[in-house]
């Protein structure tokens, strides 16, 4: 992959990679999936040269949602309230929530990433639940919040935090 990445970068070529194709009859489907990865990947991150579909599938879904109304229609309404609260009171609760979800709700890793004391993060999470009037222990709420953040990333209202490892591509 490193040699391919270097070749693509040198020649200013980008490529989309589909998920694994196992049946010749499905070749057209996977070809289109590679094109989707290329289109969505290029939209999300022009600095890369290789766009594996698995890393962009959620943004492919976000693209479809965007065409049907975007983050305004499909996002959790409480997230918009949290963002408005941050703007009004100059807080960073939305970022704390985003990092918390990116770190799979692991308080220690999130606190480290945010350069916060663990107790400060716990306070942030309690305030977030109060402001949003939700429980971050509820699976369905968290799932919709995660999707909401992906929609905001696709709509370029927040900067994506790519989480795949560098062995698959040239950027982390």
Instruction: Assess if residue 159 is contained within a domain.
Output: no
**Confidence check: pLDDT of 163 > 60:** no
CB 5 within 8 A of CB 48: no
Instruction: Assess if residue 167 is contained within a domain.
Output: no
- Domain endpoint, select from 40, 69, 98: 69
**Which CATH number goes with the domain that contains 94?**
1.10.10.2840
Q: What percent of the chain has pLDDT over 90?
A: 83
As a whole number of Å, the end-to-end CA separation of the chain is: 14
Per DSSP, the three-state class of 23 is: coil
For 103, the domain range is: 71-154
Q: How many CB atoms lie within 10 A of CB 10?
A: 9
Rounded to the nearest 10°, the torsion over CA 148, 151, 157, 161 is: 90
Tokens of 110: 């999130």
pTM of the predicted model as reported, rounded to 2 decimal places: 0.83
| Count of domains observed in the chain | 2
* pLDDT tens-digit map of 70-123: 778 899 999 999 999 999 999 999 999 999 999 999 999 999 999 999 999 999
CA–CA gap between residue 43 and residue 171 (Å, rounded): 15
Tell whether 63 and 88 lie within a shared domain: no
Query: For position 170, what pLDDT does the model report?
Result: 40
**Confidence check: pLDDT of 38 > 90:** yes
Mean pLDDT, residues 11-36: 97
CA–CA gap between residue 117 and residue 107 (Å, rounded): 10
Instruction: Assess if residue 161 is contained within a domain.
Output: no
Q: What share of the chain is helix, strand, coil (3-state, %, to 5)?
A: 65, 5, 30
Tell whether 120 and 148 lie within a shared domain: yes
**Confidence check: pLDDT of 166 > 50:** no
CB 78 within 8 A of CB 148: no
């Amino acid at each position: 992959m490193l040699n391919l990445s270097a070749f693509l970068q040198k020649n200013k070529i980008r490529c989309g990679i589909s998920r694994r194709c196992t049946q010749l009859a499905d070749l057209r489907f996977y070809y289109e999936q590679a094109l989707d990865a290329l289109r969505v990947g290029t939209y999300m991150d022009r600095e890369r040269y290789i766009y594996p579909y698995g890393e962009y599938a959620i943004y492919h879904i976000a693209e479809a949602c965007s065409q049907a109304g975007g983050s305004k229609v499909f996002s959790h309404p409480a997230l918009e309230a949290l963002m408005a609260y941050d703007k009004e009171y100059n807080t960073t609760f939305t970022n704390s929530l985003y990092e918390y979800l990116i770190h799979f709700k692991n308080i220690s890793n999130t606190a480290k990433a945010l350069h916060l004391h663990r107790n400060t993060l716990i306070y942030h999470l309690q305030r977030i639940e109060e402001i949003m009037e939700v429980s971050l222990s509820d699976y369905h709420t968290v799932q919709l919040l995660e999707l909401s953040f992906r929609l905001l990333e696709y709509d370029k209202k927040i900067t994506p935090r790519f989480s795949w490892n560098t062995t698959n591509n040239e950027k982390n």
